[in-house]
């Protein structure tokens, strides 16, 4: 059984690792602001510079921290060698690694080093948000103290004040956050690894190795849970390994309201984690029934004018869309495509060939590639290009019939038209409600 060690008090550990260093915060989104705030509050005289491609941020920073230098534009990362420590924010790609005397770190790695014994870390191409929220839910239902931080939008530094020695920290970790870590959680979950973010990592292997960092720096006494299909990739870890076999879940039905076999797997992983954290398994299974799903993940809404709508905007890879189609087979309307990051769509194309939907609406370069693949197989179903979701709903207002289902599960990122998958999903929901 995993036990929480209350001996790491921790904030001072983080501050000590920053003291007397010249620091560059590379990338200034939500996490960059969080790092800046912590450093300025605890080390007001630290030598600190912000770097971001967005030059407009300088004026905003100057309002709160006029003394902090800012490097902006395309050359903002050209001077990495001037610093002792570079705190890289997620998604900020370093042009090249600086000299060996420059330490590359991140808010994530500093937090993992300080709070290691209390952290349950979850990563995977898909399912990490749902599984993280599931584990947090199970802990709270068991009356345990727990905080939820990480990739879902809450920088880990922002929760330090709420963490007590007996608090469980549920940390959702992206590949970007794990890229330069040198520490692992006490309990790690590796759900899956599919082609994703190749516009950043360039190769699947580089992306996979970043994910595997969640296990790579474990110490004796740590635990790790993983899909058994990833066993051949896991070599260098000192964690005690526990594997979950999705094939053994076929005849198991956990009491979770979320549709799809992939969510049965997410629930099984959450249950195994809860057991390792000392929860009663029977109580944890009962608690699954009270978990409500997250927005944009097979989110069923409606009916509106008799039509049901499923918002699965989070589906940015083929495997996620296939999982959605297994949960909602043969939808009357399927919305695909978006920003093309160069991932392989053959598995989805073959799935649609063998399991045709009704009308397929497609958009963006990713949609064009999917449709081109379908046409090679002489796919005979109706295919309809569109530029904006509003066009889809104009069609639905005329042609959709009561009892039909429309599934948004794009298998592609949203950046060609939307800020993120959340914005795409919200617009889809707004248009669906407008059908009424």
Using one digit for the tens of pLDDT, what is the confidence trace for 36-73?
999 999 999 999 999 999 999 999 999 999 999 999 99
Q: Tally the C-alpha atoms within 13 A of residue 119's C-alpha that lie toward its C-beta.
A: 31
Helix H or strand E encompassing 374 = helix 364-376
- Rounded Cα distance, 352 and 375, in Å: 11
- Position 4 scores a pLDDT of 52
Residue 100, phi then psi, degrees to nearest 5: -65, -20
**Taking 90 as the threshold, does the pLDDT of residue 179 lie above it?**
yes
CATH architecture classification, 109-288:
3-Layer(aba) Sandwich (3.40)
Pick the CATH number of 299-434 from 3.40.630.10, 3.40.1350.10, 3.20.20.70, 3.90.190.20: 3.90.190.20
- Report residue 184 as tokens: 């692992």
Q: What are the residue ranges of CATH 3.40.1190.10 in the chain?
A: 109-288
Q: What are the residue ranges of CATH 3.90.190.20 in the chain?
A: 299-434
Confidence bin at 100 (pLDDT 50/70/90): confident
Confidence bin at 8 (pLDDT 50/70/90): very low
Contact indicator for 171, 313 with CB cutoff of 8 Å:
no
What mean pLDDT, rounded, does the chain reach? Answer: 93
- DSSP category for residue 14: H
Closest by alpha carbon to 350, among 367, 329, 330, 373? 373
Q: What are the residue ranges of CATH 3.40.50.720 in the chain?
A: 11-107
- Rounded Cα distance, 115 and 42, in Å: 18
pLDDT, tens digit, 9 for 90 and up, residues 246-298 = 888 766 688 888 888 899 999 999 999 999 999 999 999 999 999 988 899 99
- The CATH class that applies to domain 11-107 reads alpha beta
Q: Which residues, including other chains, have CB under 8 Å from residue 350's CB and lie 6 or more apart?
A: 377
**Taking 50 as the threshold, does the pLDDT of residue 23 lie above it?**
yes
- Report residue 311 as tokens: 């918002």
Q: What is the pTM of this model?
A: 0.90
- Rounded Cα distance, 98 and 306, in Å: 59
């Amino acid at each position: 059984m995993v036990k929480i060690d209350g001996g790491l008090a921790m904030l001072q550990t983080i501050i000590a690792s920053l003291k007397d260093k010249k620091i560059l915060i590379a990338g200034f989104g939500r996490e960059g602001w969080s790092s800046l705030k912590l450093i300025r509050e605890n080390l007001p005289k630290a030598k600190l510079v912000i770097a971001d491609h967005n030059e407009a941020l300088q004026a905003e920073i100057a309002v709160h921290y006029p003394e902090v230098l800012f490097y902006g534009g395309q050359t903002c990362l050209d001077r990495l060698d001037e610093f002792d420590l570079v705190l890289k924010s997620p998604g900020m790609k370093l042009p090249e690694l600086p000299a060996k005397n420059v330490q590359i770190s991140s808010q994530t790695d500093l937090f993992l080093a300080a709070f290691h014994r209390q952290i349950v870390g979850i990563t995977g191409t898909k399912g990490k948000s749902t599984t993280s929220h599931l584990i947090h839910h199970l802990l709270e239902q068991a009356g345990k103290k727990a905080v939820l931080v990480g990739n879902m939008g809450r920088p880990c530094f922002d929760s330090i004040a709420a963490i007590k020695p007996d608090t469980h920290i549920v940390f959702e970790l992206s590949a970007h956050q794990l890229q330069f870590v040198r520490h692992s959680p006490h309990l790690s979950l590796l759900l899956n690894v599919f082609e994703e973010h190749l516009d950043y990592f360039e190769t699947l292997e580089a992306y996979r190795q970043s994910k595997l960092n969640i296990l790579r720096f474990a110490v004796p006494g740590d635990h790790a849970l993983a899909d058994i299909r990833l066993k051949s990739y896991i070599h260098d870890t000192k964690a005690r390994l526990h594997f979950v076999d999705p094939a053994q879940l076929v005849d198991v039905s956990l009491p979770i309201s979320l549709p799809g076999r992939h969510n049965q797997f997410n629930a099984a992983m959450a249950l195994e984690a809860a057991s390792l954290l000392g929860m009663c398994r029977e109580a944890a299974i009962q608690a699954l029934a009270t978990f409500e799903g997250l927005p944009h993940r097979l989110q069923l809404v409606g009916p509106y004018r008799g039509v049901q709508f499923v918002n699965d905007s989070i589906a940015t890879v083929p495997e996620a869309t296939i999982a959605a189609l297994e949960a909602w087979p043969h939808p009357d309307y399927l919305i695909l495509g978006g920003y093309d990051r160069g991932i392989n769509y053959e598995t989805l194309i073959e799935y649609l060939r063998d399991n045709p939907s009704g009308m397929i609406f497609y958009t963006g370069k990713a949609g064009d590639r999917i449709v081109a693949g379908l046409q090679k197989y002489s796919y005979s179903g109706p295919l309809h290009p569109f530029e904006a979701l509003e066009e889809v709903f104009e069609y639905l207002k005329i042609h959709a019939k009561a009892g039909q289902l429309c599934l948004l599960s794009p298998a592609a990122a949203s950046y060609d038209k939307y800020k993120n998958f959340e914005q795409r999903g919200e617009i889809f929901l707004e248009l669906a409600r407008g059908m009424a």
